[in-house]
Every structure is written in structure tokens, then in C-alpha cells.
Structure 1
Amino acid sequence: MAEPAQTPEYAVPALDKALDVLELLAERGGGLSQLDIATAIDRSPGQIFRVLATLERRGYLLRDRRSGLYELSLRLFDLAHRQEPLHALETAGLPVMRALTESVRQSCNLSVLDAERVRVVAQVESPADFGFRVRVGALFEIGPTATGLVLAAFDPRGAELADRRGVDPALLERIREAGHLVRADAVQPSITDVVVPVLRGDGTALAALTVPYVATSLSASLADDVLAAARAAASEIAADLVL
């Protein structure tokens, strides 16, 4: 039997350097000098000069005129949100999320799976004097987060994700049966994450709606009331998307 044809690998050095720069700045956060960037990606400053200039000219990088430090602009984030699924999700989700925050006086956010991690794509802050916010664009691992577990539980690749990410498959099954997850936040135990899936017609999750519930003497709603409101909101988002 003939060997299957192999896809040829074509090297594009300039593109490799540009992607190295973007990935480095995304991982590090904050500003880096040309020398810092060159050292981190194992290049000489001269090798990346044109790459940095082009990325800056095209709007992917911002350079502080005084310090000379480079950092990512929001250009990549803007491009990602031009995708129709995300744009439609935000359009349908934000009005419902605003109504939810007004009702329960808590913040909420909407997240999707992005390359087997959790990406926050929309966030509405609590109208109250207190609340817990998550940065739009933030990226989290699946296993430690309640949001990630709900997304994995209602994903067709759930078992595969559980195996690769070290998640108990039985836990995902319990989440599927319950239709939600309420548990203490992995990073801030004083916060209770109330998470419900935004479901397609086939029962898989397009996104997860999360309310990081802060219980204080000033809280307008109990956790059970927040869960009921979040479930109603997730159903409304799904209906608006006609999934």
C-alpha cells in the first residue's frame, strides 16, 4: 500500500517571528523592550526590528514613545470578536445579562471554550456597590473553574477533555444531570460561582453564563434565587440566538 502523502512544511521566517512576538507579549503582559523581546524569542534585535515596526504600523502593537516598550493592542481581540458566532452571542447576551445583574444585583459573565481553555467573551458589572468582575478576554484552565467544568460537561468532547485535563468524568456527569454547577470559586473561596450552560437545540453548550455570587449582608438575592434567574437568562439568550 502506498504511503499517505505528507503535507509539506513550508517555513515562513518572518511570519514565525511575528507570531513569536505576539504570543510572547500575550503571555507576559505589560510592556517589553525590543531587546527583551529578542532575548525571549532567541533572536537578535536586528532580526525583529522590521517585524516590530510592521506589527506596530498594522495596529497589533503599541509602543510607548518615552520608554520604547511594546505591548499588545486590542487589535487581535477586535478581530476575534468579528467572528459571527461571538458577535451574535454578545448581541444576544449583553441585554439579557444587564437585566440579570439589575435583578440579582451581582456581576455576571459569559464564556466559551477556546482551544480547550475558558475564554471570557462578555462581562457586566454589578450595579450594587460590591461585586466580583472578570476581565473580558481572560483565559482560564478548564479543570479548576466551575465555568470550565460546565462547558466541558455539555461539550461533545467532554470525555476527551476530562481525560486530557485530569477532570473526573463522574463530576461532569453529575453536572449534566443537574443542569448547572454551584460551588465555591477555585481562586476566591468567599465567592460562589453559579454557572449555567447556554444550550443549543442538541443539548450541547455554546457558552456558559456565570454569576460570581458575593454573599454579604447587603446581598439582594439568595444563591438559589440567583441560580433560578441565571437559568432563565441562559434560556433567553439561547432563544434569542435560535440555536
Structure 2
Amino acid sequence: MPRTKTNALADDLDEGDAATSSGKPNYSVPAVEKALDIIEYLAAEGVPMTRAQLARALNRQPPELFRMLTCLESRGYLWRDSGSNAYALTLKLFELSRTHSPYEGLLRVAEPHMRALAAQLRESLHLSMLHGDQVMVIAQEESPKPFRLSVEVGTLHSVAGTTSGRVLLAHLPDDEVAALLKRDATHRQLSAAGRQTLRERLARIRTQGYEWSEGEWFESGIDLGVPIGSPQSRVKAALVMATLRRKGEGPTLADVLPALQACAQAIGAAAGIIKGDTT
């Protein structure tokens, strides 16, 4: 009897349902895993690769990848160069991620609020979110001052070693905090006393609703961070003002905290992740 697509899928599911050595069921689907191996490897390498190159890299036989590569190409996930027959990722995954990304709406509504506040305070602002085990800067508005702090959009930073990261950690459930800190390089380098100090610091941030730090990266630097979102919201972000204290002069907490909190509230309300006035 010929092996139909339905039979093939059933075979894949039967293989995946086999128990592992630990006695727990393994629900892997070999065909799906093969496709994901190809996509993830091409994404990691960042250069086109032939079927033979992919087979060697993934420890598979070239004929084994033929149908999968053909399928991914026909669905628009891969592009094949007619000269070299090398495969590369298209922009389809990026387009799909943008279609349903909850962050697009946040960025869209945050931009005018951040621009207005940067002009009002004459200080730089950046917006950050968790990205895997780190914090990613997803938006920035620079101060109009000739000398200002700037953080590049798209850069990744430690959750324990940054104002943004600590603000986000302070507003996460304890089990998520523990898991993130376990994988954080900055946290691993802390002594037992340093880790206790960090726990106390996170508790203080959670209670007071902001984080003020001076001289963390260099002597004259000041960071003030507040959260965007609520314990119930799926999207959480940190809004941070970054500035320099020059010749002993700089903003005080009373000068800037109310405006920063109002901006965070307005962004969260406009994005629909917290209740509030969106006007």
C-alpha cells in the first residue's frame, strides 16, 4: 500500500509518541523538527547554503532534505539561487512575526509620548523589553542637548545589571525572576551578599514603582526607570530616562519622576495593556 501524506504524518506522530528513557512521552514530530533545523541553521549562519552543505551541517543525507527544502521553497520560506542552488531564508518569517507582534502596537503609541517627554525634560529616553534571557532596547528618543546619552536600538543587555532589567524583574512572578537570574551572567558573578542586595533592591523597586541609579556605568551617569504594564498584562516594558550629571548639576527625582510615570501610564493606556486615560 502506498505511503500517503496522511500515513506519513501518522507515522511521524507514532514515532514522536514513543517513550523516552526517562519514561516520559516524547511528542516530537520528525518532519517538523527537520524543517525547523533547516530554518534555524540558515538563520544562525546568515549565508546561503547548498543541500549538500546543509546535510553535512545537520548530519543528514542530502536526499533526506530534498522534499523538505522543496516544500519550504514552495511555501516562500526559502529562496534558491538558480546558479549555485544555494538556499537562503526569505523575509516571510519576519513578515509573519510583524503581523501578530504585540510589540508593534506598543512602539506605535509610545513614539509620540516619548518624543514629547524627551522635548519637555530635555533628556534621552529608551524603551526596553525582555528578549529571551536579556533586555532589548526597542525604541529611543534622544535629548535635544548637545551632550547626551544614547543607547542603540536592538542592543541586548543584562537583566540584573541594568535599570531596565531590574524594573522588569521587579514586576515579574518570583519563579520567572529566579529562572532569568539563574541564566544571567552578571548575576552569576555576584557574591552571596551581592545577590541578597539585588533581591532587596528588586523588592524596593516593586514597592516604590521605580528604579533610580547613579554612577552604575560611569561616574556622572543617571538612570531612572519605571514599568509599563501591569501584573495582569501580557506585554511589559521599562521606560528609562538616561542623563548626565555635569559639574554637580542634574535632575532630581522630584523633577522628573512624575512626568516619566505619567508618560508610562499614557503609553500603557494607549496600547491597551493598562487601564487609564488615553488622551
TM-score (norm 2): 0.60
The equivalent position to 2:153 in structure 1, one of 115, 118, 135, is 135
1:199 aligns with 2:229: yes
Partner of 1:80: 97
- Larger RCO, structure (CA 8 Å, separation 6 or more): 1
Q: In the TM superposition, what is the alpha-carbon distance from 1:234 to its structure 2 partner?
A: 0.7
Partner of 2:47: 31
Structure 2's unaligned 5+ residue stretches are 1-22, 188-194
CA contact 1:33–1:69 (8 Å) conserved in 2: yes
Is the alpha carbon distance of 1:47 and 1:236 closer, same or farther for their aligned partners in structure 2, counting shifts above 3 Å?
Answer: same
Partner of 2:240: 210
CA contact 1:26–1:72 (8 Å) conserved in 2: yes
Which range moves more in the overlay, 61-70 or 195-204?
61-70
Please list the CA deviations of residues 112-164 of structure 1 after superposition, one character each: whole Å capped at 9, or x if unmatched: 334554344x413426466524334x554423333222111011235534663
CA contact 2:149–2:244 (8 Å) conserved in 1: no
Q: Secondary structure at the match of 2:130?
A: strand
Is the alpha carbon distance of 1:80 and 1:204 closer, same or farther for their aligned partners in structure 2, counting shifts above 3 Å?
Answer: closer
Please list the CA deviations of residues 170-190 of structure 1 after superposition, one character each: whole Å capped at 9, or x if unmatched: 22112223422244698x648
Q: How many residues align?
A: 231
Partner of 1:110: 127
CA contact 1:96–1:237 (8 Å) conserved in 2: yes
**Cα distance in 2, alignment partners of residues 210 and 20 from structure 1:** 38
Is the alpha carbon distance of 1:50 and 1:231 closer, same or farther for their aligned partners in structure 2, counting shifts above 3 Å?
Answer: farther
**Cα distance in 2, alignment partners of residues 116 and 102 from structure 1:** 32
Aligned amino acid, residue 239 of structure 1? A
TM-score (norm 1): 0.67
Counting aligned pairs with the same residue, the percent is 31
CA contact 2:42–2:89 (8 Å) conserved in 1: yes
Structure 1's unaligned 5+ residue stretches are none
Please list the CA deviations of residues 34-55 of structure 1 after superposition, one character each: whole Å capped at 9, or x if unmatched: 4665444334555445545554
Is the alpha carbon distance of 1:82 and 1:68 closer, same or farther for their aligned partners in structure 2, counting shifts above 3 Å?
Answer: same
Partner of 1:126: 142
Partner of 2:182: 164
Aligned-CA RMSD value: 4.3
Partner of 2:37: 20
